[in-house]
Structure 1
Amino acid sequence: MAAAARVRPLDLFSREEWERLSARNDWMGPLLVLHAWAVIAGAIALAIWQPFLIPLSVMLVGARQLGLSILMHDAAHGALHSNRAVNDFLGQWLCGAPVGAHLVNYRNYHLQHHKFAQQPEDPDLGLSAPFPITRASLRRKIVRDLTGQTYFKQRRNQFANAFGIGIKPGPGAANRMQGAREAVFPMIGTNLVLFAILAASGHWWAYFVLWLLPMATWMMMITRIRNIAEHAVVPDNADPMRHARTTLANPLEGLLLAPYWVNYHCEHHMFMHVPCYRLGVAHRALARKGITDRMEVRHGYLCVLRMAASKPDAVAVPA
């Protein structure tokens, strides 16, 4: 099996530039985690204060729930904190577990994605391989996301795996059950804590409307959009500058669709140990050197969705 092609950072940056880009700031990672939870708390408080703002709060909370997943992803690369124990605690208990993910399991899986990005062995290839699709197909997927169907299916499968429901005995069955349990039980525990906090404040209903609903709807949709933007319909699966995509996001997209610099995905694949808060810096440095002209860069998520949904609808043939 052939690993994906790599970029050598020192072919593009001086040693001093690279050291600045790849250095971890031990304050930034924890502050970003704190920021995500502060936005979530603020959005929940806003909706409790003015219930007509619940739709806005659902979007804000859902975007920060994706943000927690993104910060867990940084922790999977050891980029939240230079101390491994602190990095893993933040990534597991304050980022991954509340949204149903498990840091160590994700790390093992995700590093295979980097090793074999867009190659047949890539475990994430199924997320990008079906594209382009038709506009009707994309609409159906978004409807499933926004109505909670995607979330329900994912959680049902996760819980079934955790309790051995429907798993056929054989090689890998025990590992599959163990992996699901390692995600499910921390998720239950952290969500019980969240429910208890909201119930103690006199707003038990907010857990369902302002935490569970955003996770089951908005987070599912923007996670899909993120996955599409990152690798679907990229121009060259063999080129390390073009097998992942950077989507230049406006401030509204950054707020509601692509938090914590997740849109700089081409840079992330080129330099996977650069912390998320320096990916924008890396992009601008590459642009000054004229290197972004050789990279897969698009302006805005609407542009990418048009590309991803560019397959013509089937035309009925007259009888």
Structure 2
Amino acid sequence: MTQLALDKPLLRPERSLLTPSALETTLVIGYALLLFAAPLALLVAIVDRAPQAWPLALPLLLLAGYGLFLQGILGHEGFHFNLSDNRLYSCMLAVALSSMLTGFCVTGYFVDHWQHHRYNGSPQDPDWRLLRRYRLAATRLLVSRLHATAWYLLQTVRLALPGAKVSGTLPLPDRQIRLLARANLACQLLWPALWLLLAAKWPPLLPAVAGCLLLALLISALNAYQEHAFETDVALPVARSRTAALSTLLHLGSNYHLEHHLYPRVPCWRLPRLHRQLLASGWYEGRQALIEPRFFGALRYCKARFPYAGAWQTMPPPGSPGL
């Protein structure tokens, strides 16, 4: 069995890598929204004028699906406080943008994700308990993300209740988490209302948005295994970075997932720069299993021979809670 010693790199990121920038945040949000809205608008215009031409417009749907997926990535970044120096504002931006993914409540996700970083890849990791149970590519793609999304929604509803408390240590007070949960649920109603209002004028919009949601769901499901699924003879691998330029364009730099686990306060769009610094320092020598250089090569990690988080000699204790 190959056990990868993941001692933290000695590299100390420059302050410019760590400090949120209002200009960068604006540009990144603009890029993500443009990747979603521009191909979606073009697709709707084509289908509205020539319904029989919809098969030719499917590549636009794929691009818009990735753009919608990026709203979830921005939700993740906001709750890492990477969108603004003001933590609550960063989270509010995350809630507003990620709620475009109907059903995905980033506040409930945040509670689990904080523990995911703390116990990454171990039986105490909420993602390990959820995602390791799915072995087949079909269930990983079609079931795992639906399961997780439903759990995050339930968590958010619970957190929105008066006097709700959060178990474990989180970097926000309970009252702010309750506020974010309530805002999250409100946004979950507002975005569908907007789609319905716009669809009154452009009827093809609703099926197009539904297609984008399905694609974003599939991309998100695949993403989890691309980041944390390893061959059975690899123990304690932490995470994988996918270094293809196309991955960076479509994932906004979040494809450098190992760097994210090593330095979670570095915004995802700066992770490629951090990766280059780690390569130059020699830290990746002997750790090539943690890098996937091919965009399509990363698709294989959805197969059964790549269990989530590699091999663990220690199984969860009897009666340990699942999600």
Give TM-score scaled by structure 1 length.
Answer: 0.73
1:221-262 CA deviation, whole Å, 9 max, x = no partner?
Answer: 11111000111126332xxxx3111112242x445xx42112
Q: Which amino acid aligns with 2:63?
A: L
**Offset at 1:41?**
1.8
- Please give the root-mean-square deviation of Cα atoms over the aligned residues, in Å: 3.4
| Residues in 1 aligned to 2:44 and 2:127: alpha-carbon distance in whole angstroms | 39
Written as runs of structure 1 = structure 2, the 5 A alignment for 1:3-18 is: 8=8, 11-13=10-12, 17-18=13-14
Written as runs of structure 1 = structure 2, the 5 A alignment for 1:218-229 is: 218-229=215-226
Tell me, what secondary structure is at the counterpart of 2:122?
Answer: coil
Matched, 1:86 2:80: no
Q: Which residue of 1 aligns with 2:67?
A: 64
Specify whether residues 293 and 308 from structure 1 end up closer, same or farther in structure 2 by C-alpha distance, changes over 3 A only: farther
**Offset at 1:96?**
1.9
Q: Which residue of 2 aligns with 1:264?
A: 256
Tell me, what secondary structure is at the counterpart of 2:22?
Answer: coil
Q: Which residue of 1 aligns with 2:127?
A: 124
1:63-96 CA deviation, whole Å, 9 max, x = no partner?
Answer: 1111000011000100011122431221111x22
Specify whether residues 130 and 301 from structure 1 end up closer, same or farther in structure 2 by C-alpha distance, changes over 3 A only: farther
| Residues in 1 aligned to 2:262 and 2:181: alpha-carbon distance in whole angstroms | 31
Of 231, 238, 241, the residue aligned with 1:243 is 238
Matched, 1:204 2:203: yes
**Offset at 1:25?**
1.5
**Offset at 1:181?**
7.4
Q: Which amino acid aligns with 2:100?
A: P
| Residues in 1 aligned to 2:242 and 2:59: alpha-carbon distance in whole angstroms | 24
Tell me, what secondary structure is at the counterpart of 1:98?
Answer: coil
Q: Which amino acid aligns with 1:246?
A: S
| Residues in 1 aligned to 2:130 and 2:188: alpha-carbon distance in whole angstroms | 24
Q: Which amino acid aligns with 1:119?
A: S
Specify whether residues 112 and 159 from structure 1 end up closer, same or farther in structure 2 by C-alpha distance, changes over 3 A only: closer
1:249-306 CA deviation, whole Å, 9 max, x = no partner?
Answer: 242x445xx4211210000000011011110000011111111224411222543443
Q: Is the 2:98–2:106 Cα contact (8 Å) retained in structure 1? A: yes
Of 111, 114, 130, the residue aligned with 1:111 is 114
| Residues in 1 aligned to 2:182 and 2:18: alpha-carbon distance in whole angstroms | 34
| Residues in 1 aligned to 2:21 and 2:155: alpha-carbon distance in whole angstroms | 38
**Offset at 1:159?**
7.5
| Residues in 1 aligned to 2:155 and 2:112: alpha-carbon distance in whole angstroms | 17
| Residues in 1 aligned to 2:125 and 2:149: alpha-carbon distance in whole angstroms | 23
**Offset at 1:139?**
4.4
Q: Which residue of 2 aligns with 1:275?
A: 267
Which sections of structure 2, spanning at least 5 residues, go unmatched?
48-53, 159-165, 167-177, 307-323
Q: Which amino acid aligns with 1:72?
A: G
**Offset at 1:49?**
3.0
Matched, 1:47 2:49: no
Specify whether residues 158 and 120 from structure 1 end up closer, same or farther in structure 2 by C-alpha distance, changes over 3 A only: closer
**Offset at 1:308?**
4.6
Q: Which residue of 2 aligns with 1:169?
A: none
Tell me, what secondary structure is at the counterpart of 2:30?
Answer: helix
Q: Which amino acid aligns with 2:292?
A: R
Specify whether residues 245 and 103 from structure 1 end up closer, same or farther in structure 2 by C-alpha distance, changes over 3 A only: same
Q: Is the 1:268–1:279 Cα contact (8 Å) retained in structure 2? A: yes
Q: Which residue of 2 aligns with 1:24?
A: 20
Which sections of structure 1, spanning at least 5 residues, go unmatched?
165-171, 173-177, 313-319
